[in-house]
A and B are shown apart, each in its own frame.
Chain A
């Protein structure tokens, strides 16, 4: 708040404002304290009486302005730091939710592909399925603990995932008995997963992306510092007023206080701007890359499951092949944005080539050969090329995700220390203001 510049004579008779007759209470501090509000008001009026009174009042306002500047700076610094911290947590949650999404689709791709091979599934594919489902279960629990706002959605997701797992087990046991109803259970599992579970995890990812974006924006709390600037202007106004009143132009204490506060405000602004710039770099860099690569991994695993489902449906899988093509477009777009070395693109292309061959074989009436190529772990086989790509893209995504979280967590580190120093500076400045104004009051007498 700026100090008042209007020069209205303040002559308040003691106790007059309260309506209580003056003189009824002793005009001592003890008396005014025991006398309650009217007495206190009397004391205040007396203290604020005349030019020294105004000096006292403006001095008090000056101290408040200094403290306000300090508080605002400390608050802005801590707000920036905690926004960055929350951005880190939300980014971590986005990465975790995306991992759950990928693992669900990966499990489904493995289950459908194992089914396609016929007979008993290999221990490797069983282990892969269980690994993916295990990570899903652990991920859901971890994500629910990390973000209470996701708790309800993740609870429902957990329920749907259990239904999916139960249907897959039912498909598996019927399959072991050689009963065609097993295939029906598998179809129901896959359809249910995509219709009931995937939309929930997509929603969780989106909600956390929004939260992360919100915190990325909050990390720049420098708008608050405008209040600090106003405080500083108020202090300068006080110094000018004091100088005019007393005709003593330089007040070393007051000037020192203003200089200290100016430096504190500048340092605070610099630190906050630094944090916010670095945060923006992360949000447009590693974070964006992690999200894009996760989308690539998700689309790729969905594509792989769709390849198996197309073959399982033997000629009636046109919808699944169309879904495969949509997935491919998503992967291509994601890789164009993120894959600067071209290594991932090459490895994805190897899988696409294998898939095209699978489709050519199936469309040409060679279903058996198509299945063989689709499940082949030999060089050039669809299973082989896909796994190579899946491992590479997952690694790239994991490292981008880790880099995001680590960088963000390191960003706000210096803010609390700066905050402590700024708080001390504000206290010192307050003391200097009291001293500076006190000097002038003494001199006035």
Chain B
């Protein structure tokens, strides 16, 4: 008997519970799970693998003999140069953010600098028109691959001639001599006289694929930070993610000019950086042609004019141009 009444009670309570639950579902507000943030993969550590020891040789600046004189367009039979002539312009890999060497003028939008004038001089020699040049902005790391697969005809982007690079590409004769120095934030104690070796535990930035980075990786002490370009390094320094930048003195002069809180240290240049115009390894004729153009520029004083236009203000009046070495 008691089982019957308890069954009844259970049924009743079930009824009430069902009704109650239903009412709850209708009246209570719906709460949603919180919107998830996208999961971001952990940033890859910047490559700081030690550079392969540069093979030593004694003729890094040695290029091919220049053509005896500039040939007329009709006389050029070399395959690469004929393609350039047919195209109507020469494609040159340049920098757009190396102040004074190859940088975008923020007011005109045009790219200008010492290297750009070299490219234009080559276009003038080939086409008789300095504007027949397609400037392709590339990073330091792009230089070799783009030359190798012929996406560009020439590189005029503060590129150092090294034995290692001669294995992959060709160079014109040396057209500018620079050296690797260090730029530091003025906030560092004794900033003016710091050397790379002094910067123990400090974060020093250099662009990927540069000789400056290779040299930096050989120095014990500094923490290596990399960026795509030297200007990228300057941004890191301004954002407090780097304490110093190492690179060629000319490039650093361009960076220092953009930020009065930085200084190029008085330490002597730790390397000699001979700049050459890069070409595809097979384009020996083009390299010889370029050597003729450079020799002519240096002979008629145009080289000094270009130098003074861009570098006289930060570095003083033009010195004698570097002596070309031929005979490769």
Contact = CB atoms under 8 A, between A and B. Distances in A.
Q: Is the interface of A mostly helix, strand, loop or mixed?
A: helix
Given A315-B134, A315-B136, A75 B22 contact: yes
Interface string A198-217: 01101110011001000100
Interface residue tally on A, bucketed by range: 35 or more
B15 interface: yes
B15 A180 contact: no
Given A184-B232, A184-B235, A204-B35, A118 B25 contact: no
Q: Give 8 closest A-B pairs by Cβ, nearest first.
A: A118-B109, A315-B136, A75-B26, A314-B137, A365-B134, A199-B38, A17-B2, A207-B35
Interface string A276-288: 0000000000000
A341 to B, nearest CB: 36
B74 interface: no
A211 B32 CA distance: 8
Contacts of A188: 235
A240 interface: no
B165 interface: no
Nearest to B142: A316
B231 A183 contact: yes
Nearest to A318: B151
Contacts, number: 168
B152 to A, nearest CB: 8
Given A68-B15, A183-B97, 8 more contacts: A82-B30, A180-B103, A184-B234, A184-B235, A200-B37, A202-B38, A211-B32, A316-B142
Contacts of B107: 118-119, 178
Interface string B104-138: 11111111000000000000000000001111111
A150 interface: yes
Interface stretch (A8-16, A133-141, A243-251, A290-298): A8-16
Contacts of A75: 22-23, 25-27
Interface of A: 1, 8, 10-12, 16-17, 41, 44-45, 48, 57, 61, 64, 67-68, 71-72, 74-76, 78-79, 82, 86, 116-119, 147, 149-153, 156, 174-185, 188, 196, 199-200, 202-204, 207-208, 211, 215, 224, 227, 313-316, 365, 367-368, 371
12 contacts: A11-B1, A17-B1, A78-B26, A150-B34, A179-B99, A181-B258, A200-B38, A207-B35, A227-B18, A314-B96, A365-B89, A371-B109
Contacts of B89: 365
Contacts of B137: 313-316
Given A75-B22, A149-B33, A204-B35, A316 B106 contact: no
B97 A180 contact: yes
Contacts of B33: 149
Contacts of A71: 19, 22-23
B135 A315 contact: yes
B30 A86 contact: yes
Nearest to B103: A180
Interface stretch (B3-11, B166-174, B270-278): B3-11
